[in-house]
Structure 1
Amino acid sequence: MLLGVIADDFTGASDIANTLAKGLAGQGGLAVTQYLGIPTSPAAPDVEAAVISLKTRSAPVEAAVVQSLAALEWLQAQGCVQFVFKYCSTFDSTPEGNIGPVSEALANALGVKGVIACPAFPTVGRTVHQGHLFVHDQLLSESSMRHHPLTPMTDSDIRRWLTHQTRDLVGLVPVATVRAGSAEVRAALDAAAAEGRTMVICDAAIDQDLITLGAAAAGVPFLTGGSGIAIGLPANFIRSGLARGARTSFEGVAGPEAILAGSCSAATRHQIATHANDHPVMALDVDAIMAGTLGVREIVEFVASHRGQAPLVYSSDDPMEVEALQSRYGRESLALTLDGLFADTARALVDSGVTRLVVAGGETSGAVAQALDLEALSIGPEIDPGVPILAEPTRAIALALKSGNFGAPDFFRKALRLLEGGVSL
């Protein structure tokens, strides 16, 4: 194994697995397997890159660090020569963590400083300029992310945000240095390391910037970022002759389908509204769920009664209503209850014969993936930027785990069609 990725949520893991499997146009990518949790046995010998999906984005800081170091230990045992800590392209975190503490712990374990930190993903409008993170044409702090129910992002200066979370000073490689080329980037990172800076924010506004950062990272043990930071990494291994530049094929999975949406992002709410125009949808009554009068049985019955019609079940709502519900029931209690309901529902749906499952939302996807006890997933074609098909070959299950902010308005319909191998519903 060449490359090991530690991802702080399940949708982000799929995102970077997709990036590594695609590679650069005309060159191919790596043979990637996504693991849901830390594996308990060695990887298959043909795996070139492993992506370990953790559910640590909103976990207590200490737990996130412990799990991430355990993932690093397994990847080291597989022979990896380079490691990536993957977090969200909107830098989802609080002033206490978890991005900074996990990044520093991994860097310290590997004995490195001057580590790239770049959440940029230009394809979906996430760019970094002079250390400030933008979502399309808005500063992060002015985007819908300021209303995130778990990690509201109220500061666009991610160098300052990361400084709150780390012990060491945080550096910056500005856009002028990035545009000067990979050698200049590498020199800037080395200088930051000499100054004792562990983490270094790197500007990136276009894919070529990320390719430059990837070239600068050739041979370094550790880097961090969103999925975009991996764009140029496969080419390093292919050029050196260590990787063959292949991509896993996907033949499609037929059978019953369901969509579960727990994200409250603006993109997911738009996708739900689009899907509701010509497909059956079930809006979950949160008060009834918290009262115990609505549960798995009713949801499974709804899905079963609309088999073949792409049924969608969702708990998504606008920020004001989410805030009111959190005040009524408590943020953690509400999140745990809804994640638990989606997890139990997914397990019941698969037990009832559902073979194609689309899930929206990082926390929801993590809960569902853990409930289904999936271990190793192969990476299929990309549905929309950042969202690939995931296949569990031994159980004939195909999934799409979507970050709340990703996907086109017709994502749900398109995802189910591609999970089946391109056959229209």
Structure 2
Amino acid sequence: MQLGVIADDFTGATDIASFLVENGMATVQLNGVPTGQFISSADAVVISLKSRSCPAAQAVADSLAALEWLRGQGCQQFYFKYCSTFDSKAKGNIGPVTDALLAALGESQTVISPALPVNGRTVYQGHLFVMEQLLSESGMRHHPVTPMLESNLLRLMDAQAKGRSGLVPFSVIEQGKEAVKQRLAELQAQGVNYAVLDTLNEQHLLTQGAALADMKLLTGGSGLAIGVARQWAKRSNKDITQQKQRAQAAGYPQGAGCVVLSGSCSVMTNRQVTRYRQQTAAIAIDVERCLSEPDAYAQSLSLWVEQQQHRRLAPMIYATSEPEQLEVIQRQWGAERSSSAVEQVFAALVRLLYAQGYRRFIVAGGETSGVVAQTLGVGAFYIGPVISPGVPWVKSTDGAFSLALKSGNFGDENFFSRAQEEFPV
């Protein structure tokens, strides 16, 4: 294995794995850190953790365990993957994890590159944009767990991490890989540990991939993976198209019985849920019942899903809500208590549906996706065809079931229907 990726949530892992496959690297995704050796012919392995919003000490410990395992597999380069909207709390977890990984590898410098231009995430003069808005002015300012109130990546890292941040500006990126390498060397001589990379388009990602080929630790969203994979394919004389087709065939969705589960409250997921409700049967989660009678409630939801199977499109159960409604729920029941109760019901529901023969689950939201994957006890996935940029179908390596796991703001309004119509069983 050449590249080892440590992703801070499940949808983030499938996101970067899909871009690696699309650009020529045979990739396998693992749910958590395996125990012992893992035999695979893959060029890259992605370990999905649930470390985005847990206590920082736990995120560091889990990430270091993943790094140790990846080093044991012979990986030559390592990649800490976080969300393209830099989802994190005021004091972590991106900064503390980055510091811990640098120390474990004996390195003093890495890059910060969350950009994903194809999905409207760009960085200019160190500021992260979501489409035409600064991060702090986008829907991410209302995120229930990691509200993003700052757009300047240098300030974000300096607040979270122990070292110093510096900028590789647009003007340098435009000059090509040698200029980027020179700027990184200058920043390192100045004691800068985290080099924020301006990124406005895919060519900038390719330039970064070429310039960073020898950097031991990279950090970023899934966009930088495009440049990393292309550079690897170029060095290895691999045929990108053949690699992509072979990998996607292994992960093509299979199995009958499909259901849509949405736990994200992002702006785009709200739009997707609204659109999908116009197309098929949908039911909103009752938080009070999740708290008072979780098992009985999961049973009733399971029965409701069964009753909808005559429909062309799969039924949907959603906990997605607008910011105002979410604020009311959190004020009434408590943010952590209500979120935990909903996740427990989703887990119980997935167990029931799987026992009834359901084998395809379309899931929105990183936390919800992690719950579904853990409930199904999946150890490893093949990465299949892409539904939307950063969102592929994935299939368990034993072929038992298929999942489409979507980060909150990814995909277009018709994502849920397209995931079914464009990839029929």
Give the TM-score band, short-chain normalised: over 0.9
TM-score (norm 2): 0.95
Q: More displaced, 334-343 or 199-208?
A: 334-343
- The corresponding residue for 1:2 is 2
1:126 paired with 2:121, answer yes
Preserved contact between residue 252 and residue 393 of structure 2 (Cα < 8 Å): no
Residues of 2 paired with 1:105 and 1:163: CA distance?
15
Residues of 2 paired with 1:113 and 1:243: CA distance?
32
Change (3 A) 1:418 1:70: farther
Residues of 2 paired with 1:392 and 1:244: CA distance?
25
| Displacement of 1:41 | 3.4
| Displacement of 1:86 | 0.3
* 1:8-407 aligned within 5 A: 8-23=8-23, 29-241=24-236, 245=240, 246-247=243-244, 248=247, 249=249, 250-292=251-293, 295-309=297-311, 310-407=314-411
Preserved contact between residue 104 and residue 199 of structure 1 (Cα < 8 Å): no
Q: Which amino acid aligns with 1:404?
A: G
Preserved contact between residue 28 and residue 381 of structure 2 (Cα < 8 Å): yes
Q: Which amino acid aligns with 1:16?
A: I
Change (3 A) 1:269 1:323: same
Residues of 2 paired with 1:156 and 1:118: CA distance?
13
Residues of 2 paired with 1:13 and 1:37: CA distance?
11
Residues of 1 paired with 2:199 and 2:91: CA distance?
25
Cα distance per residue 1:59-109 (max 9 Å; x no partner): 100000000000001100010000000000000011110011101111111
Residues of 1 paired with 2:423 and 2:376: CA distance?
18
- The corresponding residue for 1:26 is none
For structure 2, which runs of at least 5 residues remain unmatched after alignment? none
Residues of 2 paired with 1:55 and 1:418: CA distance?
30
| Displacement of 1:157 | 0.9
Q: More displaced, 104-113 or 142-151?
A: 104-113
Q: Secondary structure at the match of 2:387?
A: strand
- The corresponding residue for 2:420 is 416
| Alignment RMSD (CA, Å) | 1.4
Percent identity of the aligned residues?
A: 44
Preserved contact between residue 252 and residue 418 of structure 1 (Cα < 8 Å): no
Preserved contact between residue 287 and residue 341 of structure 2 (Cα < 8 Å): no
Residues of 1 paired with 2:255 and 2:342: CA distance?
28
| Displacement of 1:389 | 0.7
Q: More displaced, 332-341 or 127-136?
A: 332-341
Cα distance per residue 1:119-173 (max 9 Å; x no partner): 0001111110011011111111111100000000001111101110011111111
Q: Secondary structure at the match of 2:178?
A: helix
Q: Which amino acid aligns with 2:98?
A: S
Preserved contact between residue 253 and residue 384 of structure 2 (Cα < 8 Å): no
Q: Secondary structure at the match of 2:395?
A: strand
Paired residues, number: 416
TM-score (norm 1): 0.95
Change (3 A) 1:243 1:308: farther
| Displacement of 1:199 | 1.3
| Displacement of 1:43 | 2.5
Q: Which amino acid aligns with 2:363?
A: V
Cα distance per residue 1:305-331 (max 9 Å; x no partner): 112531000011111111121122221
Preserved contact between residue 253 and residue 360 of structure 2 (Cα < 8 Å): no
Cα distance per residue 1:11-38 (max 9 Å; x no partner): 0100000000001xxxxx1110010111
Preserved contact between residue 256 and residue 308 of structure 1 (Cα < 8 Å): no
Q: Which amino acid aligns with 2:332?
A: R
Cα distance per residue 1:194-252 (max 9 Å; x no partner): 22222111110111111111111112111100000111112222222275641311444
Residues of 2 paired with 1:120 and 1:251: CA distance?
28
| Displacement of 1:287 | 2.2
Q: Secondary structure at the match of 2:374?
A: helix
Residues of 2 paired with 1:405 and 1:17: CA distance?
18
Q: Secondary structure at the match of 1:59?
A: coil
For structure 1, which runs of at least 5 residues remain unmatched after alignment? 24-28
Q: Secondary structure at the match of 1:91?
A: coil
Q: Which amino acid aligns with 1:123?
A: V
Residues of 1 paired with 2:301 and 2:399: CA distance?
23
Q: More displaced, 330-339 or 263-272?
A: 330-339
Cα distance per residue 1:277-314 (max 9 Å; x no partner): 12000111112222327621011111111125310000
| Displacement of 1:268 | 0.7
Q: More displaced, 289-298 or 314-323?
A: 289-298
